[in-house]
């Protein structure tokens, strides 16, 4: 279950929607997520009250068309799948939102099944735990420097 955040400079609702669609379709095509596994935060920055910084790092010239795509997902994808995902996001961002591939900056953060709660205060992907796993640790006075 990927969780996606997309930040784009000078992006209206239509462009953000197109970028979200591009990323979601790329995730379905390259790593096989289901269509209803669709969790995204789409943020437009106006360049005045909020903005994005970018540079020409590693010989890639970026400009005000910059789009940052941050994807958090469970570990286990191969380098080949990740490369295919990056390529497909750039292709579809250009097709749907007119974003030049050089302006598509993608990062993946992988984690473990226990790192997800999809609602109801449960760790749906983690193996079941005994009742003691739900109890908070016992308070021990003086256990922390700040007194708590």
Hey, what are 11's tokens?
Answer: 């992006």
Q: What letter would DSSP give residue 33?
A: -
User: Cα separation of 29 and 38, whole Å?
Assistant: 14
The four Cα atoms 109, 48, 17, 61 give a dihedral, to 10 degrees, of -60
Q: Quick check: 27 and 92 in contact, CB under 8 A?
A: no
User: Cα separation of 99 and 19, whole Å?
Assistant: 9
2 as an active site residue: the answer is yes
User: Cα separation of 60 and 47, whole Å?
Assistant: 21
β-strands 104-111, 67-74 pairing = parallel
Choose, from 2, 34, 79, 128, the residue flagged as catalytic: 2
What residues act catalytically?
2
């Amino acid at each position: 279950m990927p969780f996606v955040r997309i930040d784009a400079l000078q992006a209206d609702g239509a462009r953000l929607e197109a970028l979200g669609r591009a990323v979601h379709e790329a995730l379905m095509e390259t790593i096989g997520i289901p269509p209803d596994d669709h969790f995204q935060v789409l943020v437009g920055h106006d360049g005045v009250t909020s903005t994005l910084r970018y540079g020409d790092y590693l010989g890639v010239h970026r400009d005000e068309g910059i789009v940052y795509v941050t994807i958090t997902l469970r570990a286990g994808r191969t380098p080949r799948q990740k490369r295919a995902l990056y390529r497909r996001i750039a292709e579809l961002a250009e097709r749907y939102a007119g974003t030049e591939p050089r302006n598509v900056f993608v990062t993946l953060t992988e984690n473990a099944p226990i790192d997800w709660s999809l609602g109801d205060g449960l760790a749906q992907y983690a193996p079941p735990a005994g009742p003691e796993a739900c109890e908070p640790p016992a308070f021990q006075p003086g256990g922390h420097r700040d007194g708590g």
